[in-house]
Chains A and B, each alone.
Chain A
Amino acid sequence: MVITPVHYIVVPLLAAFAIPLLTKIYKDAARLIPGIVLFYNIIVSFNLLKYVNEHGIISETIAGWQAPWGINLVITPFTGFLASMVSVLGFIIWLYGYRFKRTLKGGLVKYYEILQMMMIAGSIGVIITGDLFNMFVFIEIVGISAYSLTAFYRGRDGAEASFKYLLIGSFASTFLLLGILIIYTQTGTLNMAQIAERMHEVPQHMKIIALIFFLISLGIEAEMFPLNGWAPDAYSQAPSPTSATFAAVVSIAGVYALIRVLFTLFDVPVNNYLMIMGFVTMLVAEIAAISQKDLKRMLAYSSIGQVGLVLIAFGIGSKLAVFGALFLMLNHAVIKSLLFMTGSYFIYNTDNKKLKSLNGIHKRLPLVSFFFSLGALAIVGFPPFAGFWSKFYILIAAGDARHVYLIVGVLGVTIIELTYYLRIVGRIYFAKEEEEPASHKPSINAIIAMSALALFILVIGVYPDLIMQPLNQAADALLNKTHYINQILSLN
């Protein structure tokens, strides 16, 4: 096998160091290289996913150091699926942002491109690593890139948002490290498969304390209420491609980390906790979203709401529910990126970020408005768009588990969601236009990126079978814990 999971980490790191040098030779290198790297990631992901689905789990030990000393990278159908998804979206977001700040002089764009690439590469690292401490390192890489990108505009608001993010993020790091420390002292290893194997030997009270530290720290990364105060500010202050990345890549990695730790490492039942906290997250986020007057903040709260639903679905825990949760993660990543992309063009064409200034904007940006409306209908879960299926499977799973109140609650919250999204659609198309500022038409690369996402929404909405098989395998891989442990221990 020529392509190994190591490429995920080595290639972006190499590129990150090479970009400042190459920019001296060729000015556009800073823009082009991340694209090449991210595209290479897609090739790696698809090859690995195909191999894994045919031959079983890959576990790559770095430099031949065996666990517990060495680090291993694990590709299962589950992690392979998420890595492919993140790679593809990372590439599409790069394509979208290709001309971002093209006119900006100086090295700023270079840093933006490098940080953006490292954020995506770090997220993939979180997903594919099989080592707990290594996961911490990757979370830090993602975090540091994200803090700096949030402050990219160097204004007061950006700095404030970035500082909040940093503050809460350092809580996450501290607690995560504490959790890892407890686990290491108890099990004597950092390899996740080995930890999982030895977990039943750990005394109950130690286990619970470690679990709580993980829940707090990874809950912050996964934007769980009440730990998600940083998210709305960060989403709304970051440059728009970065906001899309937060929604499509970073939050996915956060949810992955939480789920991996809870499902594989610990044998403590957390289903009720996940369901309740997921529902509270969703409810509070959607309630907060409905009263927002700023488009990007609204989208940010809506993202948190979607993550809440993902957590609910994982909390239900049946095969179908996990399947639905993965489907929803995919849909959320695609649709929310589309919404952030279109939303940023709206903002670009108005002087402020307020919803009011969207009145009648479809005359200026017909295609972007169409994509936004499509995204709005899809994320609420109207058939025949992709968002419907994920919600439907989750509801069916909730019904099978007889969570009556959950179903009613989720649908009730969906009504709130629908209200604010359709308000905007109405505003875009039918509100009276105010003054007409100069128009920034979307560039061709952005149109391609948005069209690809829109096409996905339509095609999957009409024919979900295209995506069912990898999703099914991924759900199986996540739920089959003993298989995971045995495979990795034998491969080592």
Chain B
Amino acid sequence: MGALTNRAKVLEQKPMSFLERLYLPAILKGMAVTFTHMFKKKATINYPEEKRPFSPVFRGLHVLNRDAEGRENCTACGLCAVACPAEAITMEAAERQSNEEHLYREEKYAAKYEINMLRCIFCGLCEEACPKDAIYLSETFAPSNFTRKGFIYSKDELLIPNPVTDRENFDKAKGLREAQLKNK
């Protein structure tokens, strides 16, 4: 049977020379390579004592935004949920009552808002879809957990601290962010 193409090469298999048969030179050569790596810059860091800076375009854990008066921006329009390719976002809308005007910015708000971090692929399409500046992907990632239940994030986990009623935590979170920016 002839070859299909004429690109086939015949492999030469010469018998090994004396030095090659000793194996020692090759072993020493390999060890020398290993030894030089002791003086090179390490590729790893001592996490969690040291942390790598995130890129400014990093897409991490979601936050739900509030405005300067501490009211929630989200109006449960469902655009993040319809944009989500992993179908990770679900919500329930409710009507704002007259005594809740300091809590929610518009007449409709998300009474329940959940992101399933097991489904989320951190693509950032929810952030792009949001017409109300309500959802942002932050520069952290979701912490690990022992159970699946711990990955269903509700509004308690997602909302940023209220700048009016919870100034301390708000400043703390803001300070963290500014420190991160300064380190870059």
| Chains A and B come from one and the same complex | no
Q: Which residues of A contact B (CB under 8 A)?
A: none
